Structures are given as structure tokens and as C-alpha cells.
Amino acid sequence: MRATLMYGAGDVRVEQVPDSVIALPTDALVRITASCICGTDLWRYGSMKPEEGPARMGHEFIGVVEDTGSQVARLKRGDLVVAPFAIADNTCQFCREGLHTSCTHPQAGFWGGPSSEGGQAEAIRVPLADGNLVRLPVEADSALLPSLLTLSDVFGTGHHAAVAGGVNPSTRVTVIGDGAVGLLAVLAARRLGAEQIILMGRHRARTGLGREFGATDVVAARGGEGIEAVRELTGGHGTHVVVEAVGTRPAYRQALGVVRSGGVISRVGVPQYEDAPIGFGSLFRRSIRLAGGPAPVRAYIEELMPDVLDGTVEPGKVFDAATGLDGVPSGYQDMADRRSLKVLIKP
Ligand SMILES: [Zn+2]
């Protein structure tokens, strides 16, 4: 079978690999019908050292169950399923509390890397299949598949950002970042009834989609100028919730500048820094809280799916390009160059 491997920064190849097989009785073997490239993959695409590779890539996928291990009870051959980006058992104490990204099972973790396979491939071995895979009540060729695929990461992550920030109908929200997660945080905040949603981003096609998803205002300026613009839109106070969907220190500083006193900065962009202001003059004096983390999207799939199935939301609009496996390497480059927002893969 064929799978995507990253050998180092800027070096993605689609190669022949050994066929995926059931290795443990709790595994399922899934033939992948839809996958995609994530903004998170781009951090490694920009900086991965050759000695860290080659790594199997892809953590978002939909597919058809081809085979199941002897202990898999909830799934059968032929089921169309979606997988969350983090592997969890869905039964331990953290999973029961809805924090699947802190699952304590020894097989829990993330797709790709040395111990698990990746979703940008023809097939995949899914550990802890009963806990991870969620059946989709549609046909394999459904037009809803792109939107359902976003339940594996970007829609669930945008939703988590909004939930962790405490978005409700009386909150004003700023979303920093016009990538797929930022745009879907806008959609999630709208879905949760936010009164005002300010999207900070400068890519016009993307901020246009952000308006379609529910942004009430768009601020293209960054830094001090951007902060000033958000404050003007909010009576000088900033917003109760700031979703930081970029992950850089300048984005964090921007979040500090636009958050309202007593508010929450909810981070879902993977931080590319360890040191940032948290002291008296930044968080403490204004009673600002810091929230977020890797989203436990498994906890949200059943909750978000009905709105996708009935067309209330169309998160799949973030896909602006599609390719087979052969086009995956150029898909990475297109996303790195911001020519594509998010690339759908049909293996
Ligand atoms: Zn668990």
C-alpha cells in the first residue's frame, strides 16, 4: 500500500510501505476514503530534522472498516467511520471527563511517529478501535464527507477553543488566525450564540469565509494597530474570549492586547514557544485566565455530528483543494505557501 512519509523539512514523499494489518485484538483495519493535510503538519514541514524521520503523516481520516480484532465489539466490516486526531480508549478516568487527549491507556497518543501509522495513506491500523472510531450514518460517497472529516480535528478543535473559552450568547469573541481552525472557531462561536465575533486575519478569501461562518467583524491589521482596532470595536474593553489559533508568541501578545479584563485566552494553536508574559502586568492585574490545549475532539464528535448531517453547519467549506495521494507533496507546499487553505486527500 502507499502512505505519506516526511523525511525532513520540505521533504514529503508518497511511498510503498508494508500493508497495514491487525496487530492487536483491539485493532481495526480501515481503508481510508478521505483524509487531509493539517496546519499542524506544516510546523514539522517547516522545521523537521532528517534524524527525526521518516515519519508517517496524517491524523485526520474517514474510512471503511475492512477487518476487526477479536475484542472489537462496536464495529464491523463495512462500517464507514471517522477517527479523532488523538488515540484514546474512551473509557479511562480522563476520557470519561472528556479529556481524551490525556488518556492514560498505554496505546493512547497521536497518529504518526514511530508507534502508529498515519492517515495520509491508503489504509491504517487503528488501535483501541472501539474507543476511537465513530460510525457515520451516511453512504461512502456522501456529499457531507468533507464536513464530516472536519470532526476528526479542525471543527472539533475550533469548538473546543470556544468551549474552553466559555463562549455563550452574552460573550464577545476575538479569533486570532484565519487558518482552518480559526475559521471553524468562528463557526463554533456562532453556533454557541456569541454576540460579537471579531476575526483577526489578513488573507481576504479566508476572512470572507470567516464572515460566511459568522464573523461580525474582520480586522486585517496586526500588532498594536490590530489591538487598537479590536478595542475600538468593543467600546475600548476588548472581548471576553480570545481564541488564539496560531501558536506564535506574537499571536499570544496580540491575544493579551485584545482580551477584556476578567476574560479568557483560549489557545488551540500549538505554541511554538515556552516563555511568554503571565505576570502582574499581563494576566494577573486584569484577572485574565489562560485555557486551551490539544482538543479532545473525540468528546465532541457525537455532539457536533447532527448539525453537520442536517446542514446547519458546513465546516467542510474549509477545503479549497482536493488531490489523490500523488498530489500530497505539492499539497503541503501549497498550504505552506498559503495558496491552499486546507487540502482534501482522496487516496
Ligand atoms: Zn482514556
Q: What is the pLDDT of residues 62-72, one digit of tens each?
A: 999 999 999 99
The CA 108 to ligand 1 mean position distance, Å, reads 7
Q: For residue 287, what are the contacts with CB-CB under 8 A and spacing of at least 6?
A: 261, 262
Contact 151, 304 (CB under 8 A): yes
Q: Region 302-319: what's the mean pLDDT?
A: 98
pLDDT in tens, 126-145: 999 999 999 999 999 999 99
pLDDT score at 53: 84
Question: How far does the centroid of ligand 1 lie from the alpha carbon of residue 87, in Å?
Answer: 9
* Residue of 265, 259, 262 whose CA lies nearest to 284: 262
Query: Given this model, what pLDDT does residue 30 score?
Result: 98
pLDDT above 90: percentage of residues in the chain: 97
pLDDT band, very low/low/confident/very high, at 15 (cuts 50, 70, 90): very high
Low-confidence winner among 41-55, 84-98, 235-249, 295-309 (lowest mean pLDDT): 41-55
Q: What is the pLDDT of residue 274?
A: 96
Tell me how far the alpha carbon of residue 321 lies from the centroid of ligand 1, in angstroms. Answer: 34
Distance from the alpha carbon of residue 94 to the mean position of ligand 1, in angstroms: 6
Dist. CA 261 → ligand 1 center (Å): 35
Residue 90 alpha carbon to ligand 1 centre in Å? 5
**CA distances for 82 relative to 16, 17, 33, 248, 307, angstroms:** 24, 23, 10, 30, 16
Cα(84) to centroid(ligand 1), Å: 13
Give 314's contacts (C-beta < 8 A, 6+ positions apart).
Answer: 147, 308
Q: How far is the CA of 300 from the centre of ligand 1 (A)?
A: 15
User: By C-alpha distance, which of 167, 205, 162 is closest to 182?
Assistant: 162
Find the 102 Cα to ligand 1 centroid distance in Å: 7
- The CA–CA distances, whole Å, from 282 to 167, 231, 278 equal 22, 16, 6
pLDDT at 61: 98
Residue 119 has pLDDT above 80, yes or no: yes
Domains of the chain by start residue, with CATH: 2-153+297-345 (3.90.180.10), 158-292 (3.40.50.720)
Q: How far is ligand 1, taken at its centre, from the CA of residue 153, in Å?
A: 18
Is residue 113's pLDDT more than 70?
A: no
Q: Phi and psi at residue 336, in whole multiples of 5°?
A: -65, -35
Phi, psi for 302 (deg, rounded to 5): -65, -30
Give SS3 for 37.
Answer: coil
Taking the centre of ligand 1 as the mean of its atom positions, its distance from the CA of residue 303, in whole angstroms, is 19
The share of the chain scoring above pLDDT 70, in percent, equals: 99
- pLDDT higher than 70, residue 114: no
- N-terminal to C-terminal alpha carbon distance within the chain: 10
pLDDT at 48: 94
Which residues, at least 6 apart from 337, have a Cβ–Cβ distance to it below 8 Å?
none
Q: How many CA atoms lie within 13 A of 194 on its CB side?
A: 32
Q: What angle do CA 124, 127, 42 make, to 5 degrees?
A: 55
From the CA of 132, how far away is ligand 1's center (Å)? Answer: 10
- pLDDT at residue 115, as a whole number: 66
Amino acid letter for position 138? V
Residue 189 has pLDDT above 90, yes or no: yes
- Tell me the three cell numbers of residue 86: 488523538
| Angle CA 67–70–75, to nearest 5 | 55
- For residue 38, count other CB atoms closer than 10 A to its CB: 25
Instruction: Give SS3 for 11.
Output: strand
Expressed in angstroms and rounded, the spacing between residue 212 Cα and the centre of ligand 1 is 36
**pLDDT of 144-188, one tens digit each?**
999 999 999 999 999 999 999 999 999 999 999 999 999 999 999
The backbone region for 235, taken as left when phi is positive above 0, alpha when psi lies in -120 to 50, beta otherwise, is: left
CA distances from 264 to 118, 207, 215, 255 (A): 34, 23, 19, 9
Find cell 474507543 and name the residue: 131
Mean pLDDT score across all residues of the chain? 96
Q: From the CA of 63, how far away is ligand 1's center (Å)? A: 23
